[in-house]
Every structure is written in structure tokens, then in C-alpha cells.
Structure 1
Amino acid sequence: MANTSEEQKMPLLEHLIELRKRMLWSVVTLLVAFLICFAFAEQLFEYLAAPLADVMRENAVSERQQRLIFTDLTEVFFTYVKVAFFFGAFISCPIFLTQIWLFVAPGLYNNEKSAFAPFLIASPILFFIGGALVYFVIFPMAAQFFLGFQVQGTESTIAIELEAKVNEYFSLMMKLIFAFGICFQLPVLMTLLARVGLASAKGMAEKRKYAIVGVFIVAAIFTPPDPLSQLALAIPIVLLYEISILMAKMVERKRTEAENAESGDQTDE
């Protein structure tokens, strides 16, 4: 009994050692990427602020207004820390996913590996597409809309000008990027649900109208309150929902073919 207990404990201990090694590689990679990005944090923040800077130049009511301000002594420093961490996490993401794969893959069958691997590749790509949509399309439109509320001062009216803060701008940009990046994971999520039998292409197609309503509600929550930004999020998600239905159909077709092949082999026997 003692020998049996030791035999059962050793594999668990080996798995824990393997997990610790994978986590250590991931954390070290993140730390190195963070330190490198922190050395260029100012340039990286300027890159993130470029969409706002471009719109400010077009809509500024005075040269003084073309700037970002900070009202706390440590605000810029900690914003640069967040910027470095964000870019470091993005750069080290492939290493994280690779370490997860190397830890999980030995315990998977070949068919499970072929099913799981594409999702590890597709997930960061879709997140990047969502973030790029924010940076190049959504935020410039939203900034153009909100800066339109500025009023140039005259003898009879008071000026209304934007005094954007460094940390508030970064927080808004990150919220939008994460919101769009997570929403763009819809095909991955729905395809996984279809693989495990919790969703079907027919069911998703029948609930399409409810899904569209839900998408517009989510778009209204996660985007600035202008119609263009909401449509810019809602329309891609609706398209991704349709892609999810097609992916679910492909999964179901492959499952049916595998079941038919298996039943045919059993009949031959």
C-alpha cells in the first residue's frame, strides 16, 4: 500500500514541478519584456496618444489645448509603468500560450491536440484585430465626436476646452482595447461550446435576433455614447456571430463524419 501511494504521488509531484517551471519561464519573460518596454515607455505612450493628438490638432480651439496634463506628482510615472506592463504582456503573450501548450499537450490525444491548437493561435490574433479596430477606427471617431463640444470663448461666452489627463486617457484607451479584444473572442468561445456540445449551429441561427439585440446592448455599454462608435463595435460582432455559426457547422460536420466512420468500422468488424 505504501509503494502504491508513493507511485501515485510521484506523477503529481512531477506535474507540479513542470507547472512551476512553465510559470517561471512565463514570469521571467514578462519581467524582461516589461523592463525593455519601460525603457521606451515615453515613446510607447506617444504612440498610444497619437489618435487623440491627430484629432486635437484638427479641433483645437487654441495651441495651448493641444496637450495632455497631469495633476498628481506621480501620475505620469505610474502611467508609464502601466504602459510598459501592457506592452510587455502583449509581447510575452506568445510565450505564455506556448508554455500553456507545452504543459497541457503531453496529456492530450492527437485529435484533442489538433482541436485545441488552432484556438491558441486564433485567440491572440482576434484580440489584436479588436485592439487595432479601436486604435485606427473607433477612438478617432469617438474623439472627433466629443471634441466637437468645445466652444471658443468670445466676449459674451466662456470657452469650453478639453484638458485631457494622462492617466484618464490611458485608462479609456485600455478599456476600449480590452472590451473590443474580448468581444472579438466570440468565434473562439462559440466554436469551443459547439465542440463540447453546449451549442449548435441550428440553435445559434434560431437565436440570431436575440443575439443581435444583445450585441447592440453590449456595444452601448462598452463604447462612447455616439452612434458611430456603437455601430463600429456592433457590426463586427454580428459578423463574428455569423462566422461562429459557420464554424459550429464545420465542427458538427466533422463530428458526424467521425461518428459515421466509427460506426462503419464497427459494422465491418
Structure 2
Amino acid sequence: MTNLYRYYTELKNRFFLLLITWVSTILVSYTYKEILLFLIVEPSLSYSNQSMLYFIFTDVTEIFAVYFKIIIFLGNHVFIIFILYHAILFLSLGLYKSELKNITFLIQTSLIIFVVSVIFFNKVLLPLSWNFFLSFQSFSFLKSIDLYFESKLNEYLTFYITSYYLCITYCQIFVLLISFCKYIKNNLNQIKQYRKIVYFSFLIMSTLLTPPDIVSQIVLSLSLIFVYELLIYSLIFQLVLEKLKNQPILEHKYTRKA
């Protein structure tokens, strides 16, 4: 009973710390809500071909709802990161060193890919998609017809959050690839055995994650296959270098025995 009470107390304290973290993040985000809105809108404004691009709202409470979505969006991100941190601290004492090392490696790899994917989304993917969709408003043959785009602020935020989560989800697939390559590092014969299964898994993931068109499925599948093969060849290259480094030592031992 004493151990159960200690576990209960620790879980309660950690949950209380997580709640304080989430509430404090919400309060700080509300203080800087205008800056956060600018950071979300700025990539589209900076890289857009339009010189007079602006956003409209048609409801009195729409701007407040946009600020509320941004605050909750940021607060949930910080909350999830701290959940992972507290989970590792709570489970670390009951794990073997090898298990703790593997879990730490997965989380570190996931965080690195997460940061890279966020930068890639805001600097490359969002501006390109914004320019692509806005390019359809101009007619090259009918010069007398013009389409004028007036984006609602809440619709743009919905587009941003949806695209953001899709990009993060796609990029986190590479964590599974890196983990799989680390698992088969010591046995290269398993690469041939699992190759068809891995390719089929890529096809299934591409079908589930992409829109219902064959082009996007093929592009994502080929990208995953390319990254997977690149990781495999890098592992083979590392193993060859390790064998070349260890070979002179083994030869020196055999010559001394002779």
C-alpha cells in the first residue's frame, strides 16, 4: 500500500505540474496573441505574388475565436512535449539501460524531425502551396475576367492547422524508418527478408495519409522508398568502414601468434 500511495502521489504531482504548465502557456500565449497571429500569417504574406493580400472577418467574435484557436494550438504542443518528458522521468527507474537508451533515442529523433518539419512547413511548403492555389485566380487567355481573392481569417487558420498536422504526420514517418534501420543494423540479411513488407507498408501509409489521387500516393511512396534505401546504404557503408578499421588489428594479433 505504501508503494501504491507513493506512485499515486507522484502521478498526482506530475499531473498538477502539467496542468500548471498548460495554464501558464495559455496565459503567456494570450499576452502575445498578436505576435503569434503574425507568425502564422507572415509566411503567406511574404511569399505571395499578390501585392495587396489581406484577410477579412464577417463576425464580431471571429477574431477572438481565431486567437482562442491559436492559443489552444500552442498550448497543446507544449503540453504534449512535457507529457513525454514526465513520462520518461516516471518510467526511467523501472527500465533497463538498453530500453531507456532506445526510448530516449526515439524521442530525440522525433523531436529533431519535428523541429525540421516545422521549419520546412513554414519556410517552404506553406508558401509554395499558397502561391499554387492563388495562381488559379488569373486567366491567361481571357484578359477581361479577373477573380479577386478575399480570404477569411478563420478559414486561413483552419487551412494552416490542417496542413501543419499533415506535414508533421508525414515527417514523423521517417522516425519509424530510422528505428527500423537501427533494428536491422546488426543483421543485414533481414533487409532482403523485410524489403517487400516495408515497400507494401509504405504504399499503405501513402494511401491512408494522402488525398484520394494516384499522383500524391506515388510521390509519397517513392519519397519514403528513396529515404529508406538511402538509410540502408549509409548503414552498409558504416559497417564496411568498421570492418576496415578492425581488420588491421585482427591481422596484427594473428601475426603475433604465428
Fold shared per TM-score above 0.5: yes
Aligned: 1:207 with 2:197: yes
Task: Tell me the residue number matched to 1:266.
Answer: none
In 2 relative to 1, CA 170–243 (structure 1 residues): closer, same or farther, beyond 3 Å? farther
Task: Tell me the residue number matched to 2:50.
Answer: 59
CA contact 1:186–1:240 (8 Å) conserved in 2: no
Aligned: 1:101 with 2:79: no
Which of 15, 18, 38 in structure 2 is aligned with 1:26? Answer: 18
What are the superposed Cα offsets for residues 75-104 of structure 1, whole Å, 9 maximum, x if unpaired?
A: 211211221222333345543322111111
Task: Tell me the residue number matched to 1:4.
Answer: none
CA contact 1:216–1:234 (8 Å) conserved in 2: yes
Aligned: 1:171 with 2:158: yes
SS of match in other structure, 2:136: coil
What are the superposed Cα offsets for residues 89-125 of structure 1, whole Å, 9 maximum, x if unpaired?
A: 3345543322111111111122211121111222222
SS of match in other structure, 1:72: coil
Task: Tell me the residue number matched to 2:112.
Answer: 125
In 2 relative to 1, CA 119–156 (structure 1 residues): closer, same or farther, beyond 3 Å? closer
Aligned: 1:43 with 2:35: yes
In 2 relative to 1, CA 208–53 (structure 1 residues): closer, same or farther, beyond 3 Å? same
Mapped to 1, the partners of 2:222 and 2:171 lie a distance apart of 11
Mapped to 2, the partners of 1:240 and 1:40 lie a distance apart of 39
CA contact 1:45–1:83 (8 Å) conserved in 2: yes
Please give the TM-score of this superposition, normalised by the length of structure 1.
0.69
SS of match in other structure, 1:44: helix
In 2 relative to 1, CA 202–30 (structure 1 residues): closer, same or farther, beyond 3 Å? farther
Look up the equivalent residue of 1:42 and give its one-letter code: E
| Gaps in structure 2 of 5+ consecutive residues | 185-189, 237-258
Number of aligned residue pairs: give it.
228
CA-CA distance at 1:158 after TM superposition? 4.5
Mapped to 1, the partners of 2:57 and 2:193 lie a distance apart of 51
Identity rate, percent = 22
CA-CA distance at 1:131 after TM superposition? 2.3
Instruction: Give the root-mean-square deviation of aligned CA atoms.
Output: 3.6
Mapped to 1, the partners of 2:69 and 2:199 lie a distance apart of 39
Task: Tell me the residue number matched to 1:15.
Answer: 7
Matches within 5 A, 1:1-269: 9-56=1-48, 58-60=49-51, 63=52, 66-91=53-78, 93-151=80-138, 157-189=144-176, 201-214=191-204, 216-217=206-207, 220-221=210-211, 231=219, 237-242=224-229
Please give the TM-score of this superposition, normalised by the length of structure 2.
0.72
Look up the equivalent residue of 1:30 and give its one-letter code: W
